[in-house]
């Protein structure tokens, strides 16, 4: 099962257990985070749900592992014959998230049945 989620203006294809690098998110390390903007879900039976724009009732849950900065990139501006040169470095901040689960309506119903049988 995989899902395509939208976060930080980009789309990411995720499966359970993946570690994904997002643009910096406002969440503390070790906290759980939920993504509700699910664009597409492909279930194990080959069934695909496509949202318009998002699939309703499906959430992707993850756990924030760490925050950090990516490798430095060099921004160099140059204009020929004008003696104009500008060099600047930039490190983009990111949030490392481990995807813990993709919750669909079917998995919610299964979990409710299991808890009802366990009692």
- Joined together, the tokens standing for residue 61 give 């849950």
Q: Write down the mean pLDDT value for the chain.
A: 92
Provide the pLDDT for residue 119: 61
Provide the pLDDT for residue 108: 67
* Residue range 33-90, pLDDT digits in tens: 999 999 999 988 889 999 999 999 999 999 999 999 999 999 999 999 999 999 999 9
Evaluate whether 99 touches 32 at the Cβ level (below 8 Å).
no
- Joined together, the tokens standing for residue 17 give 């257990």
Through-space distance between the first and last CA atoms of the chain, rounded to whole angstroms: 29
Provide the pLDDT for residue 25: 94
Question: 67 is in which domain, residue-wise?
Answer: 2-118
Which sign, positive or negative, has the C-alpha torsion 68, 101, 38, 57?
A: negative
**Domain total for the chain?**
1
Evaluate whether 77 touches 84 at the Cβ level (below 8 Å).
yes
């Amino acid at each position: 099962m995989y899902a395509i989620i939208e976060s930080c203006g980009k789309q990411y294809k995720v499966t359970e257990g993946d570690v994904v690098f997002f643009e910096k998110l406002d969440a503390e390390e070790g906290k759980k985070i939920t993504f509700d903007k699910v664009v597409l879900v492909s279930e194990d039976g080959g069934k695909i749900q496509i949202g318009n724009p998002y699939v309703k009732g499906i959430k992707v849950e993850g756990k924030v592992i760490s925050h950090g900065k990516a490798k430095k990139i060099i921004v160099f501006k140059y204009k020929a014959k004008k003696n104009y040169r500008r060099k600047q470095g930039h490190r983009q901040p990111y949030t490392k998230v481990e995807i813990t689960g993709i919750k669909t309506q079917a998995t919610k119903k299964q979990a409710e049945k299991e808890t009802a049988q366990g009692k």
